[in-house]
Amino acid sequence: MMIVYILITILLTAAIAYIVVQRLFSSNLNNAHQKAVELEKQNESLKASVSQLQLSQQKTDQMLSEERNHTLKLTNDLATAQTRYEEAVKRMNEQKLELEQMQQKLKTEFENLANKILEEKSHKFTEQNKVNLDIILNPLKEKIKKL
């Protein structure tokens, strides 16, 4: 009879242990299933975030490429403008030098012409004065000779 009590005790203990293990297993299984569902949702959310980040990166890369091209164009335009400016300054300096040379040449020509005119006028004035003096003095000279 003792054996029967022991067997019943063992069977009851086994049954209780089985029930407890079943509940724990089912609880763990439910927890694992819920955790798997949560992880799947997180995975989908992360995939969506990665997709959005990839689109954002593509747009940023495109904008960066456009800005680089714009910067390159502006750099080329600046170099062209600087070259034109330097050429314009060079031409302007050459024209300034030519203008100064022409002014000096015109000044020299003007001085020469003024001197020539002055000399001619002086010579003419002298001749005219001589003629006028002769006209005035000749009658006087003749009167002096007669005296």
Give the residue-averaged pLDDT of 117-121. 90
pLDDT at site 95: 97
Model confidence pLDDT, tens digit, residues 7-48: 778 877 877 777 776 666 666 667 777 888 888 999 899 999
pLDDT at site 29: 66
Distances from the Cα of 119 to the Cαs of 124, 129, 133, in angstroms?
8, 15, 20
d(CA 18, CA 4): 20
Model confidence pLDDT, tens digit, residues 50-103: 999 999 999 999 999 999 999 999 999 999 999 999 999 999 999 999 999 999
pLDDT at site 59: 96
pLDDT at site 125: 87
pLDDT at site 7: 77
